[in-house]
Structure 1
Amino acid sequence: AIHSNHAKQLKSKEKRPGNRTSKADCEPDGSFVFEAHEAWKDFHNSLRHFYEVGELCDVTLKVRLPLLPVEFLTGTVAKEEMIKGNLSCRDLMDEARNYHLHLSNKVVLDFEYTVRTIPRKHTAGVLFCVGGRGGSGDPFRSIECYSITKNSWFFGPEMNSRRRHVGVISVGGKVYAVGGHDGNEHLGNMEMFDPLTNKWMMKASMNTKRRGIALAALGGPIYAIGGLDDNSCFNDVERYDIESDSWSAVAPMNTPRGGVGSVALGVRNYVYAVGGNDGVASLSSVERFNPHLNKWTEVSEMGQRRAGNGVSKLNGCLYVVGGFDDNSPLSSVERFDPRMHRWEYVSELTTPRGGVGVATVMGRVYAVGGHNGNIYLNTVEAFEPRMNRWELVGSVSHCRAGAGVAVCSSHVSQIRDVGQGSSNVANCM
């Protein structure tokens, strides 16, 4: 009966205009599954022996307890007599508690991510590769979108402006492209792609025109960090308010950073600025922004200097991928755990990548394009953290570096495939 009511709600939801429901949306959440399980158990008292002999734990394994709200875990699940009376189920409760402690930046010895700590909807989302440039020198306005199921890329609607070294991020199911260079001048303007309309729309411009910026989002506002023009590197940081379509300045970084990487990370939601170039040399330093104090603070340095690096997050850690030192593109990859305040190297890329675009989807970190010191790349590789291994996946159509890469929470079927892309995009080789 509970499942029937849930299905009716979904069916009603699908009938509302403009509402598209993906397969992932139809999956009940953890609290629903647990409550349905409890209702079934109460109805079938004759199966009590079935639960008491340990099968209850097998059923509970299907519920991702760590992803339930703490209030539901402590107020409902933990008070269930059969959970309390089964040692295996109590182990699952301990796993859930440790997960929430881990998220709150507490050090939990021997904590490991499992299938129960990964949302079922973690496969939802489309990987966007936006702009950049290839061997022709002219920036692209084209975008390519990755279909995980087909392991292939297709062209989406083009931007209004050509953009290389552009900042790209996805917030609220939309993709934002900010700043960059169009081949003639530096840009301060921003445009937004809405999968529901399949169009790019111009939005408010930043106060400072620049390329090589990084974007991060904290619960809504978008932060545009660092960057450079032909004369200097910037420590400027601007915040974009989506509702009012306006930019405002916040505290500048301690260090100018062009070609910087950035991501929001942690329960307290700091914005991290990683590496970059200060106008003299590539940087190994890292700093983070506390929005409540409007202040940047230095944190532990990376093991290697790098600019034009890609940054993303996975399993509560920050990954910095590739980039350039002062001499050449890098294949090294480092991971920062904010709970331990420590950097460590993980497996290297299959090829050096400077100016690489990086994002996380389906529990893997993707590195798209870049330059290996000789040519622009169209290859893409993905990092599997459990295997500590990079493997090549479907390549983008155009070799490109300085592209922005982000994951949009839309469904791949929403985005119109425009075929072979614009005829004015030259072969980058």
Structure 2
Amino acid sequence: SGSDSVSFSRNQTHGKQHAAPRNKCVPRPSEGDCEADGSFVFEAQEAWKDFHNSLRQFYENGELCDVTLKVRLPLLPVDFLTGTVAKEEMIKANLNCRDLLDEARNYHLHLSNQSVPDFEYSVRTTPRKHTAGVLFCVGGRGGSGDPFRSIECYSISKNSWFFGPEMNSRRRHVGVISVGGKVYAVGGHDGSEHLGNMEMFDPLTNKWMMKASMNTKRRGIALAALGGPIYAIGGLDDNSCFSDVERYDIESDRWSAVASMNTPRGGVGSVALGSYVYAVGGNDGVASLSSVERFDPHLNKWTDVREMGQRRAGNGVSELNGCLYVVGGFDDNSPLSSVERFDPRMHRWEYVAELTTPRGGVGVATVMGRVFAVGGHNGNIYLNTVEAFDPRMNRWELVGSVSHCRAGAGVAVCATHISQIRDVGQGSSNVVDCM
């Protein structure tokens, strides 16, 4: 939900102590918890009632804005922000609080690709560690040649990886995405044949469950989610690259075809940005591509947009701060360390800092305001290293390693708490070193 955790323990404003509202939806932090101390979370309508009463205490003491500063308003759902928070009389009556509300509104406008002059990101636009979700690295292949069933999960607070429950099928060059607190793995290759089937991981049960299969078996596909459905884009088999796009309806567990891309794209990258789904790079069966196109679900139509500066396939794609980042990949000869950023408001690509090492077949996702690049192949070996890009510093830095050296893995962020996922220990034992 993007919400923070509500309550006050010992509030630091003017050294005064205030009672924490108690509610089953509102966990009370331990004394001295610097992450949650003095903070609120607008998590549910019930919690708002307690919050409203607490606001009144601070309003009467002249401390309302001090408290509201600790709330990460931009991360609230738009409907709750506009329908509940913005209607609170105490917020409306305080100019400083109204400025914070404007910041939250501008943040959502910015993410919807509208131009917002002088908008800047702040700590309030970045989730706290315990609400940021869990980074999953799913499948892929390493030096042994066989695709993996294994998944590895990243603990943000501990900066470490652990093995989660394995998939039912081995999958390399698999499409992976998280929607609604669940992780979906689609297609790929199991070492013997191409796959069209899909499985879903539910953190509440710690199990993978088979779901409906796509119409076309393929590897090297990309997944994107926009407005509920999941889109499976492009891919390839041993004979051809595909321009096919299928849409999966989660409620009905059914795939259906939508408009094909203008260009076949195997090893393509994709992300939903604003009201479009983007397909970035890939290989058309002859060469790696620098071209980019985007899908409008209302028109059921793909339209070409400005191409990248570099041809690439097997690249990773993610969204950060309303921009599209494309990371690494292969040109026709070798893996790439270059990274490009597309701003849809300016319709412009620009290069940003390069990776610390070239990475083809890299998995990419955004966590805590940084783009993570996981594994890949550097031209000589499969990689288990992970690095993260900080847009404020324009710099990549190594942030630990997965246990298995792997390329062609799917990477996604699941909106769940790390404690929900069972650590299965060492996982598969059939993986040798990265060579």
Normalising TM by the smaller chain, what interval? 0.7 to 0.9
Partner of 1:289: 295
* Contact 1:270–1:289, Cα closer than 8 Å, also in 2: yes
Shift of 1:271: 0.7
Q: Once the two structures are superposed, what CA deviation does each residue of 1:171-203 show, in whole Å capped at 9, x if it has no partner?
A: 111111111111111111111111122221211
Shift of 1:98: 3.1
Q: Cα distance 1:222–1:80, how it changes in 2: closer, same or farther (>3 A)? A: closer
* Contact 2:112–2:322, Cα closer than 8 Å, also in 1: no
Shift of 1:72: 7.1
Shift of 1:244: 1.8
Matched, 1:356 2:362: yes
What CA distance in whole angstroms lies between the structure 2 residues aligned with 1:277 and 1:307? 6
* Contact 1:125–1:410, Cα closer than 8 Å, also in 2: yes
Aligned residues: 418
Q: Once the two structures are superposed, what CA deviation does each residue of 1:249-277 show, in whole Å capped at 9, x if it has no partner?
A: 110000000000001111xx211101101
Q: Once the two structures are superposed, what CA deviation does each residue of 1:341-374 show, in whole Å capped at 9, x if it has no partner?
A: 1111111111110000001112211100000111
What CA distance in whole angstroms lies between the structure 2 residues aligned with 1:18 and 1:131? 43
What CA distance in whole angstroms lies between the structure 2 residues aligned with 1:35 and 1:233? 45
Q: Once the two structures are superposed, what CA deviation does each residue of 1:310-341 show, in whole Å capped at 9, x if it has no partner?
A: 01111111111110111111111111111111
* Contact 2:38–2:67, Cα closer than 8 Å, also in 1: no
Within 5 Å, give how 1:265-284 maps onto structure 2.
Answer: 265-266=273-274, 269-284=275-290
What CA distance in whole angstroms lies between the structure 2 residues aligned with 1:170 and 1:40? 28
* Contact 1:31–1:68, Cα closer than 8 Å, also in 2: no
Q: Once structures 1 and 2 are overlaid, which stretch shifts more, 154-163 or 225-234?
A: 154-163
Runs of 5+ in structure 1 lacking a partner?
10-16
Shift of 1:94: 4.2
What CA distance in whole angstroms lies between the structure 2 residues aligned with 1:425 and 1:81? 60
What CA distance in whole angstroms lies between the structure 2 residues aligned with 1:33 and 1:142? 35
Runs of 5+ in structure 2 lacking a partner?
1-10
* Contact 1:125–1:411, Cα closer than 8 Å, also in 2: yes
Matched position secondary structure for 1:390: strand
Matched position secondary structure for 1:116: helix
Shift of 1:425: 3.4
Q: Cα distance 1:369–1:57, how it changes in 2: closer, same or farther (>3 A)? A: same
Shift of 1:53: 11
Shift of 1:109: 2.2
The structure whose residues are more often helix, as a share, is 1
Q: Cα distance 1:350–1:97, how it changes in 2: closer, same or farther (>3 A)? A: same
* Contact 1:122–1:361, Cα closer than 8 Å, also in 2: no
Q: Once structures 1 and 2 are overlaid, which stretch shifts more, 85-94 or 70-79?
A: 70-79
What CA distance in whole angstroms lies between the structure 2 residues aligned with 1:89 and 1:307? 47
What CA distance in whole angstroms lies between the structure 1 residues aligned with 2:276 and 2:51? 47
Shift of 1:220: 2.1
What CA distance in whole angstroms lies between the structure 1 residues aligned with 2:301 and 2:31? 42
With normalisation by structure 1, the TM-score equals: 0.84
* Contact 2:173–2:408, Cα closer than 8 Å, also in 1: yes
Q: Cα distance 1:363–1:223, how it changes in 2: closer, same or farther (>3 A)? A: same
* Contact 1:310–1:320, Cα closer than 8 Å, also in 2: yes
* Contact 2:189–2:195, Cα closer than 8 Å, also in 1: yes
* Contact 1:323–1:353, Cα closer than 8 Å, also in 2: yes
Q: Once structures 1 and 2 are overlaid, which stretch shifts more, 18-27 or 317-326?
A: 18-27
Q: Cα distance 1:112–1:198, how it changes in 2: closer, same or farther (>3 A)? A: same
What CA distance in whole angstroms lies between the structure 2 residues aligned with 1:47 and 1:409? 29
Matched, 1:413 2:422: no
Shift of 1:83: 6.4
Q: Cα distance 1:386–1:23, how it changes in 2: closer, same or farther (>3 A)? A: farther
Q: Cα distance 1:29–1:79, how it changes in 2: closer, same or farther (>3 A)? A: farther
Q: Once structures 1 and 2 are overlaid, which stretch shifts more, 104-113 or 378-387?
A: 104-113
Q: Cα distance 1:191–1:22, how it changes in 2: closer, same or farther (>3 A)? A: farther
What CA distance in whole angstroms lies between the structure 2 residues aligned with 1:141 and 1:331? 28
Matched position secondary structure for 1:31: coil
Q: Once structures 1 and 2 are overlaid, which stretch shifts more, 183-192 or 117-126?
A: 117-126
Q: Once structures 1 and 2 are overlaid, which stretch shifts more, 64-73 or 129-138?
A: 64-73
Matched position secondary structure for 2:87: coil
Q: Once structures 1 and 2 are overlaid, which stretch shifts more, 135-144 or 27-36?
A: 27-36
Matched position secondary structure for 1:145: strand
* Contact 1:233–1:256, Cα closer than 8 Å, also in 2: yes
Q: Once structures 1 and 2 are overlaid, which stretch shifts more, 46-55 or 407-416?
A: 46-55
Q: Cα distance 1:346–1:196, how it changes in 2: closer, same or farther (>3 A)? A: same
Q: Cα distance 1:54–1:105, how it changes in 2: closer, same or farther (>3 A)? A: farther
Q: Cα distance 1:423–1:167, how it changes in 2: closer, same or farther (>3 A)? A: same
Q: Which of 385, 388, 393 pairs up with 1:382?
A: 388
Q: Which of 5, 8, 14 pairs up with 1:6?
A: 14
Shift of 1:67: 4.5
Shift of 1:412: 1.4
Q: Once structures 1 and 2 are overlaid, which stretch shifts more, 271-280 or 25-34?
A: 25-34
What CA distance in whole angstroms lies between the structure 2 residues aligned with 1:163 and 1:204? 16
Shift of 1:89: 4.8
Shift of 1:391: 1.0
Shift of 1:22: 14
Matched position secondary structure for 1:47: helix
Q: Once the two structures are superposed, what CA deviation does each residue of 1:276-307 show, in whole Å capped at 9, x if it has no partner?
A: 01111111111111111111111111111110
With normalisation by structure 2, the TM-score equals: 0.83
What CA distance in whole angstroms lies between the structure 2 residues aligned with 1:37 and 1:195? 25
Q: Once structures 1 and 2 are overlaid, which stretch shifts more, 24-33 or 274-283?
A: 24-33
Q: Cα distance 1:122–1:254, how it changes in 2: closer, same or farther (>3 A)? A: farther
